Amino acid sequence: MASPASPAPAAVTARGWGWRYATRLKWAARGIDLDIAPGERVLLLGGSGSGKSTLLHALAGVLGGDEEGEHAGDLRLDGAAPHSVRGRAGLVQQDPDAQAVLARVGDDVAFGCENLGVPREEIWPRVREALDLVGLGVPLDRPTNALSGGQKQRLALAGALAMTPGLLLLDEPTANLDPEGARSVRDAVGRVLDRTGATLVVVEHRIDVWLPLIDRIIVLGSGADASSGGSAVIADGTPNEVLGTRGAELAARGVWVPGIPPRHPAPPVAAPGETLLTARGLEVARVKGTPVAGPVDEVVRAGEVLGIIGPNGAGKSTLGRTLAGLLPPAAGAIDASESLSAGAGPAPIRWTSRQLLTRIGTVLQSPDHQLLASSVRRELEVGPRALKLPEGEIAARVDELLERLRLAHLAEANPHTLSGGEKRRLTVAAMLATRPRVVVLDEPTFGQDARTWAELVDIIASLRDGRGDDPRSAVVAITHDADVLAALHARVLALPGATA
Ligand code: ADP
Ligand code: MG
């Protein structure tokens, strides 16, 4: 009987494979040719929207039937159509919060097995073994929402493992984690592969963490590479071959190549200007009565980026939302300057959502929590419409942002169907549409390819420095990404780890 430790590793073949979602004219993936042998450990790279997630979903057998899209060419798992061998591939995705489906750890890990119809008496030994293998020694009845991001990702990995997959598919599994959480997940994957010998395909932009574990790199190009009849696979080989000999070329296409950092914007044009927000003895709480961070005494100034760093659980996002006027301070106060409040009173938490729009803009960590409208264009119109701007002005702002954030070709698409990088660009654009003077960005660059990273950093720098008629803004950036703070010459506020 198969146990989590002994699946046979799976083989993958693709011949001219492609997929077009029914709602789109352009192919999401096209012209993919691949042979992955059992037990190989592959890192799959490619720019935002190049079809990496689409390929992984197809291999996991979860891409819909004919009514949901059109496929081209051939894709096989052990010689069979992937959807006919569901369970042979186990998929772990990016967002830790979106993946824990059930309330308790044990039930969550058992969920996939139950769906596959694994006999009851076999499920629980598998669940315990999988949890043990990923190093998650918590009781089976522990609530899933009490786990850290790194623990949630290891929980998702355990859920995939309990189904004894021969192919492990990891779609940016550490993009939302702090460095320690990322290493804990990487180490868990390493233990799993050493024990099971499963084939691995992992997608991740920041590749340093994964290099010790993988033996091959495959790079997907853009639609343009495949549309002329060429292959969408633009590089394929050992890490040394791919990064060593073609590193500069791939970096130019937006791949993060270790040792080749993306270009940085120019430093600030002038010393920081006016203080727009002042925090005095500020303590913050996610739920009333239990402060998670503070007291903080700090100023937020026009023409400056204030970086907030600290380990997972230190209260960074809570502090960000409190500074943004979305959560009431647990203690102390936040005062807005006269020029920022412009008659709305000193305490941002008392401002209406419409008053906030032009004063403080927020981009939340998880884009999915912020997408409201049925198309990209309408998403960008939400703020300007709430401000009752004239139609001509709304159209001008939206068109400019569609161009600037490379979203014009997606104007009519449903925001929830965008790739991870496209969603991040959209939430930033939607925030910019009302031209707030203070912007609070929670992990603005995480999980981005190097090209989008450089574009987002440029946009933040232009907010900081002002542009055209727009005055300099104050930027608060919460991030695990030390590069982004260096690139923006940020002043850094480090929150200590949680003491509780
Ligand atoms: P990657 O993972 O490489 O960033 P994806 O595979 O997520 O790219 O997306 C490839 C293209 O397919 C993108 O243009 C994206 O907007 C589109 N796409 C992804 N998922 C859907 C969906 N469910 N419906 C329609 N289009 C989609
Ligand atoms: Mg993706």
Q: Is 170 a residue whose pLDDT tops 90?
A: yes
Closest CA to 107 of 154, 144, 160: 144
Q: Does ligand 1 have an atom closer than 6 angstroms to the CB of 52?
A: yes
Q: Whose CA is nearest to atom 23 of ligand 1?
A: 417
How far is CA 309 from each of CA 149, 205, 314, 418, rounded to the nearest angstrom? 16, 21, 9, 28
Separation of alpha carbons 272 and 99, rounded Å: 41
**Tokens, residue 232:** 């969408």
Q: What angle do CA 10, 12, 15 make, to 5 degrees?
A: 165
Residue 204 has pLDDT above 70, yes or no: yes
Ligand 1 centroid to residue 52 C-alpha, Å: 8
| Ligand 1 proximity of 449 Cβ (cutoff 6 Å) | no
Convert 98-116 into a string of H (helix), E (strand) and C (coil). HHCCCCEHHHHHHHHHHHH
pLDDT at 64 over 80: no
The whole-number average pLDDT for the span 149-157 is: 88
**Nearest residue (CA) to ligand 1, atom 1:** 49
Structure tokens at 231: 């292959």
Residue 500 pLDDT class (50, 70, 90 cuts):
very low
The whole-model pTM stands at: 0.88
Question: Residue 170: what are its φ and ψ, rounded to 5°?
Answer: -120, 115
CB-based burial, 102-111: b 16+ in 10 Å, e otherwise: eeebbebbbb
User: Would the pLDDT of 373 be above 70?
Assistant: yes
At residue 322, φ and ψ (nearest 5 deg) are -70, -45
Q: Is 180 left (phi over 0), alpha (psi -120 to 50) or beta?
A: alpha
Domains and CATH numbers, the chain: 3-252 (3.40.50.300), 275-494 (3.40.50.300)
**pLDDT above 90 (res 388):** yes
Confidence tier at 499 by pLDDT (50, 70, 90): very low
- Output the pLDDT for position 291: 78
Grade residue 369 by pLDDT with cuts at 50, 70 and 90: confident
pLDDT band at 95 (very low <50, low <70, confident <90, very high): confident
Section 367-394 average pLDDT: 95
pLDDT higher at 423 or 500: 423
User: pLDDT by residue (tens digit) across 337-364?
Assistant: 999 999 999 999 999 999 999 999 999 9
How high does pLDDT run on average in the chain?
Answer: 90
Share of the chain above pLDDT 90, in %: 67
Output the 3-class SS for 203-258: ECCCCCCCHHHCCEEEEECCHHHHHCCCCCEEEEECHHHHHHHHHHHHHHCCCCEC
The closest residue, in CA terms, to atom 12 on ligand 1 is 28
Q: Is residue 1 scored above 50 in pLDDT?
A: no
The pLDDT assigned to 5 comes to: 45
Q: Is 18 in the pocket of ligand 1 (CB under 6 A)?
A: no
Least confident of 23-37, 218-232, 338-352, 471-485: 218-232
Query: Which of 27, 417, 423 is the best mutation target for the ligand 1 pocket, counting ligand atoms within 8 Å of the beta carbon and taking the most?
Result: 417
Average of pLDDT values for 319-339?
96
pLDDT in tens, 38-60: 999 999 999 888 999 999 999 99
| Residue type (1 letter), 159 | G
Q: Exposure string (b/e) for 422-441, b if CB count within 10 Å is 16 or more?
A: bbbbbbbbbbbbbbbbbbbb
**CA-based nearest residue to 179, from 43, 312, 320, 315:** 312
Give the number of the atom of ligand 1 that is nearest the alpha carbon of residue 420.
Answer: 4
What pLDDT does 216 receive? Answer: 97
**Closest to 26 (Cα-Cα) out of 224, 218, 231, 221:** 224
Residue 288 has pLDDT above 90, yes or no: no
Best probe residue, ligand 1, of 19, 20, 23, 24 (max atoms within 8 Å of C-beta): 24
Decide which of 290 and 243 is more confident. Answer: 243
| Per-residue pLDDT band at 87 (split at 50, 70, 90) | confident
**How far is the centre of ligand 1, averaged over its atoms, from the C-alpha of 488 (Å)?**
30
Distance of CA 110 to the CA centre of its chain: 26
Structure tokens given for 156: 């998702």
Rounded to the nearest angstrom, the distance between the alpha carbon of 421 and the centre of ligand 2 is 7
pLDDT at 223: 61
Interaxial angle between packed helices 105-116 and 149-161, expressed in degrees from 0 to 180 and rounded to the nearest 10: 30
- Among 32-46, 92-106, 221-235, 411-425, name the one with the lowest average pLDDT: 221-235
**Is the pLDDT at 2 greater than 60, yes or no?**
no
